[in-house]
Amino acid sequence: MLFKRVLIPIDLSEVSADQLECALQLKRYGMEELVLLYVLTVEGDIPPEDELALNNLLNKAVSAGVKARTVVEKGKVSNKILEVAKKERSSVIVMASSGKTKATELMVGSVSLEVVRRTKVPVLVGKFFAIGKKKPNTNSAPLLESVLVSVDLTSATKNVLETFKQLDESGCERAVLFHVVPSNKYSVEDNDKFQAVKKDLSEWKGAHKGNCELDTHLHYGSPAYNIIEAAREFDATLIVMGNVGKGLLHSMTLGSVSDEVLRKSNVHVLIVPC
Give 37-67 pLDDT, tens digit per residue: 999 988 888 999 999 999 999 999 999 999 9
**More reliable by pLDDT, 133 or 77:** 77
Q: Which helix (H) or strand (E) holds 93?
A: strand 92-96
Which positions ≥6 away from 248 have C-beta within 8 Å? 113, 114, 117
Give 135-185 pLDDT, tens digit per residue: 444 446 899 999 999 998 888 899 999 999 999 999 999 999 999 999 999
pLDDT for 130 equals 46
Range picked from 9-13, 133-137, 222-226, 259-263 for highest mean pLDDT: 222-226
The reply to whether 5-132 and 140-273 are identical in fold is: yes
pLDDT for 252 equals 40
With CA atoms as reference, report the closest residue to 20 among 38, 42, 45: 38
Give 218-259 pLDDT, tens digit per residue: 999 999 999 999 999 999 999 999 986 554 444 443 358 888
pLDDT for 113 equals 84
pLDDT for 98 equals 57
Give 60-103 pLDDT, tens digit per residue: 999 999 999 999 999 999 999 999 999 999 999 999 875 444 43
Residue ranges covered by each domain of the chain: 5-132, 140-273
Tell me, yes or no, if the pTM score tops 0.75.
yes
What's the CATH fold of domain 140-273? Answer: Rossmann fold (3.40.50)
Which positions ≥6 away from 49 have C-beta within 8 Å? none
Q: Is domain 5-132 in CATH 3.40.50.620, yes or no? A: yes
